[in-house]
A and B are shown apart, each in its own frame.
Chain A
Amino acid sequence: MHSLQVAMPITRNFAQTHIKYMAERIVKSLVLIAVICCSVQFLAARMVHVGIAQNPPKCYMDDEGKPAGIFVEILNSIGNEEGWELQYQLGKWDENLLKLQSGEIDLVADVAYTTDRDKLFDFHSIPVLSSWSQVYSRKGLGIQSIIDLDGKRIVVLEGSIQQQALNTMVRGFGLQVTITAVQSFDDAFKAVAENKADVAVTNNFFGRMHANSYGLEDTAIVFEPSTLFFVAAKGRNVDLLDKIDLNLKQLKQTPDSDYYKAIRNWTSESTGMIIPLWVKVMLLIIGLGLLISTIAGFVLKRQVRLRTHELQLANADMENRIIERTKELASAMQAAQQADMLKSAFLATMSHELRTPLNSIIGFTGILLQELPGNLNDEQKKQLHLVQNSSRHLLSLINDVLDISKIEAGQLDLQYSIFDLKKSIEKVLLLVKTQAEKKGLEVNTCYQHDSLEIECDQRRLEQVILNLLSNAVKFTETGSITITTMEQNECYIISIQDTGIGIPLSELDRLFKPFHQIDSGLTRKYEGTGLGLSICYQLLNLLGGRIVVKSEPGKGSTFRAIVPKRGANGKKQTDSCD
């Protein structure tokens, strides 16, 4: 069942398609028959002779002797429909009418209706075209109205509707004019162009098409609107006229019919003929503009292409350079890394090479002063002490240089341990005590608490304290040195105050820079590398602390070392230590 239900519409569809196919075949056969019938009809076609005058664009013989124009096209369309064989004969306007009378031709195209003519010929009832007469003048004559025609020479077509109307009009307005009749509209325009006449009167179709080519312009003088027809001799070809009416009626009802095509063909051509000069100039300019812009566009395109190519080249070049540069940078980086390794190797070597001989000097001096090899006299002891001091000083200088190098190379090794800051200070004080006593300086200490437990690199912190204390002793001639400790925000503040020479304000900024010693020059009053404070500054930084200085020249200085209580983890808190 299911499959049947599905099959049904298919069968029906098939039947429909089949019927459609059959119907198409029948229609095709009918068309074929009709075509054959038409051919038969054509074979037995009625011969129709049509007289036309040279009156483009309504009707004329073109350069190749072929009939053309609006009337011709419309009649061809009708003849085609009715199976007429149309034979066109070119003749003068009045000749054609005579031939019509004599029966030589059956129809004359393009005849304006007048009551007089209606008496002589048969007109069909639906007009082919509407027309009017218009006055055309040489350019610049300034003819605005009918009055301006006074005293002018006028040409008209012999026997034309314009001739009659003009005569009536001139008489009516009482104008003094010279009227010349010629055989064709072309002759009329030629006469005006050659200054044999001033104005010509033609129908609007001819005028629109040809005025410009003769150098004439249309005037506002328009008269005698008329309707144009085909005419036949009285009573002789009524059937032709009836068919024409029948077809015209139909043709005029269909917007896209041959009728409208014919009018469009010829009138649009004529509008082309009346393009004013400025429009032409404009068109020419626009055309030139277009041409130039096209050329410019082409040139631009070419330039863009060239530029693009250049850019591509430049881009490729740039890429190459980037690659090269990257390589250079990579090798520079490698070189820098090598240099860094070299620096480390240099530091290690220097450290070893300088300390090894010092090890002997300091070692043996110590042994001699211990009098292990034998007793020394006082002078020997004094001199050996000088050697010992000098060698220790040399060692401290070497250590300073190596320390700053290590700090800058990021190779300083911090050893954190928990110890008593108070004990460390006391230990360092012992080292400078002798020197201070020699100078007669008073050394005071003031601890906030008895025990000052701290987690720090003991050796490095002691190095900082020693440095600051040594400086205090070194730069103070009279007075005192005071060491105080304070606890604040998880930090210890170790303050070392002296009554020494002080530091000028201008020098404070540079104080912690390496190799800086105030009054630096070849003749220095105080020995030292000028590295001490720089090392203190950097060590405290590494330890998570900082150093602060206050000073007044001539009065003394106060250095404050601020160190976190709890190792590197206390670093964060030092910001609040002040």
Chain B
Amino acid sequence: MEKNKQILVIEDNPSNLYLMQYLLGKHGYTAIEADTGLKGIDLALTSKPLAIILDIQLPEMDGYEVAKAIRAYSSLDDTPIIAVTSYAMIGDRENAIAAGASAYIEKPINPDTFIREIESHIQEYSERSKLCES
């Protein structure tokens, strides 16, 4: 089976969306884009990506709600959610983790290290899942 290289990016800001899409594309990943939470959940269910990069500050449905909704589907249990946010207030990290995110990256992202961070989180998550299964 061909290795899953699809990563879902849920982000409402077009330039930031493009930035991440470009970086992912340059490193051999396929970015699926969603500019709202609802679209993101739909895409996650239909395309079953390798990982989901989730902005927290979203219109209508915020990132915490999206994370919770995604975690409600057991078919997406293996998919790590990496929260990316410019929020840096007390509890942001905890809230994101509590909502179902598996990692947290603060904006602005560092283009030199971003892909490495994403990859290490995916790795970490799959190892954790395996441990849980066994």
Cβ of B74 < 8 Å from any Cβ of A? no
A385 to chain B: closest CB distance in Å? 13
Question: For residue A459, which residue of chain B has the nearest CB?
Answer: B106
Contact present for B87 and A351 (CB under 8 Å): yes
Q: Please, how many angstroms separate the alpha-carbon atoms of A372 and B28 in the complex?
A: 12
Cβ of B16 < 8 Å from any Cβ of A? yes
Q: Please, how many angstroms separate the alpha-carbon atoms of A367 and B22 in the complex?
A: 9
B101 to chain A: closest CB distance in Å? 16
B116 to chain A: closest CB distance in Å? 13
Residues of the B chain whose Cβ atoms lie less than 8 Å from the Cβ of A402: 88
Contact present for B109 and A359 (CB under 8 Å): yes
Cβ of A327 < 8 Å from any Cβ of B? no
B4 to chain A: closest CB distance in Å? 23
1/0 per position for A402-424, CB-CB distance to B under 8 A? 10001000011101000000000
Cβ of B90 < 8 Å from any Cβ of A? yes
Contact present for A359 and B87 (CB under 8 Å): no
In this complex, which of A356, A358, A363, A372 has the most chain B Cβ atoms within 10 angstroms of its Cβ? A363
Known: A352-B57, A363-B16, A363-B19. A406 touches B110 (CB 8 A): no
Cβ of A43 < 8 Å from any Cβ of B? no
Residues of the B chain whose Cβ atoms lie less than 8 Å from the Cβ of A363: 16, 19, 23, 108-109, 111, 114
- Interface size of B by CB at 8 A reads 24
Known: A352-B87, A406-B89. A362 touches B108 (CB 8 A): yes
Q: Please, how many angstroms separate the alpha-carbon atoms of A351 and B114 in the complex?
A: 20
1/0 per position for B56-99, CB-CB distance to A under 8 A? 01000000000000000000000000000111111111000000
Contact present for A360 and B16 (CB under 8 Å): yes
Contact present for B111 and A370 (CB under 8 Å): yes
Residues of the A chain whose Cβ atoms lie less than 8 Å from the Cβ of B112: 366, 370
Contact present for B89 and A367 (CB under 8 Å): no
- Of the candidates A344, A359, A411, A412, which one forms a contact with B108 in the assembled complex, judged by CB atoms under 8 Å apart? A359
B14 to chain A: closest CB distance in Å? 9
Question: For residue A362, which residue of chain B has the nearest CB?
Answer: B108
Residues of the B chain whose Cβ atoms lie less than 8 Å from the Cβ of A415: 93
- For chains A and B in complex, what number of residue pairs have CB atoms within 8 angstroms? 78
Q: Please, how many angstroms separate the alpha-carbon atoms of A517 and B26 in the complex?
A: 44
* A contacts with B: majority SS: helix
B113 to chain A: closest CB distance in Å? 9
Contact present for B107 and A356 (CB under 8 Å): yes
Cβ of A355 < 8 Å from any Cβ of B? yes
Cβ of A295 < 8 Å from any Cβ of B? no
* B contacts with A: majority SS: loop
Contact present for A366 and B111 (CB under 8 Å): yes
Cβ of A298 < 8 Å from any Cβ of B? no
Residues of the A chain whose Cβ atoms lie less than 8 Å from the Cβ of B19: 359-360, 363-364, 367
Contact present for A351 and B90 (CB under 8 Å): no
Residues of the A chain whose Cβ atoms lie less than 8 Å from the Cβ of B110: 362, 366
Q: Please, how many angstroms separate the alpha-carbon atoms of A356 and B107 in the complex?
A: 7
In this complex, which of A358, A361, A365, A372 has the most chain B Cβ atoms within 10 angstroms of its Cβ? A372
Contact present for B89 and A362 (CB under 8 Å): no
Residues of the B chain whose Cβ atoms lie less than 8 Å from the Cβ of A348: 87, 89
Residues of the B chain whose Cβ atoms lie less than 8 Å from the Cβ of A412: 90
Contact present for A413 and B90 (CB under 8 Å): yes
Question: For residue A372, which residue of chain B has the nearest CB?
Answer: B26
Residues of the B chain whose Cβ atoms lie less than 8 Å from the Cβ of A351: 86-89
Residues of the A chain whose Cβ atoms lie less than 8 Å from the Cβ of B90: 406, 411-413
Residues of the A chain whose Cβ atoms lie less than 8 Å from the Cβ of B22: 367, 372-373
B17 to chain A: closest CB distance in Å? 10
Contact present for A355 and B111 (CB under 8 Å): no
Q: Please, how many angstroms separate the alpha-carbon atoms of A398 and B93 in the complex?
A: 20
Residues of the B chain whose Cβ atoms lie less than 8 Å from the Cβ of A411: 89-90
Q: Please, how many angstroms separate the alpha-carbon atoms of A36 and B108 in the complex?
A: 132
Question: For residue A359, which residue of chain B has the nearest CB?
Answer: B108
Interface residue ranges of A357-409 to B (CB < 8 Å): 357-367, 370, 372-373, 395, 402, 406
Q: Please, how many angstroms separate the alpha-carbon atoms of A354 and B57 in the complex?
A: 13
Residues of the B chain whose Cβ atoms lie less than 8 Å from the Cβ of A366: 110-112
Contact present for B89 and A347 (CB under 8 Å): yes
Cβ of B15 < 8 Å from any Cβ of A? yes
Cβ of B47 < 8 Å from any Cβ of A? no
Q: Please, how many angstroms separate the alpha-carbon atoms of A354 and B108 in the complex?
A: 10
Residues of the A chain whose Cβ atoms lie less than 8 Å from the Cβ of B91: 413
Question: For residue A413, which residue of chain B has the nearest CB?
Answer: B90
Q: Ordered nearest first, which 5 A-B pairs have the shortest CB separation?
A: A366-B111, A355-B86, A359-B108, A360-B15, A363-B19
B residues adjacent to A (C-beta < 8 A): 13, 15-16, 19, 22-23, 26, 57, 85-93, 107-112, 114
A residues adjacent to B (C-beta < 8 A): 344, 347-348, 351-352, 354-367, 370, 372-373, 395, 402, 406, 411-413, 415
Give me 23 A-to-B residue pairs in the complex whose CB atoms sit less than 8 angstroms apart, sorted by A's number.
Answer: A348-B87, A348-B89, A352-B86, A355-B108, A358-B108, A359-B16, A359-B86, A362-B108, A362-B111, A363-B111, A364-B111, A366-B112, A367-B111, A370-B111, A372-B26, A373-B22, A411-B89, A411-B90, A412-B90, A413-B88, A413-B90, A413-B93, A415-B93
- Taking A356-B13, A370-B111 as known contacts, 15 extra A-B pairs with beta carbons closer than 8 A to each other, sorted by chain A number, are A347-B89, A351-B87, A351-B88, A352-B57, A355-B107, A356-B16, A357-B15, A360-B13, A362-B110, A363-B16, A363-B114, A406-B89, A411-B90, A412-B90, A413-B88
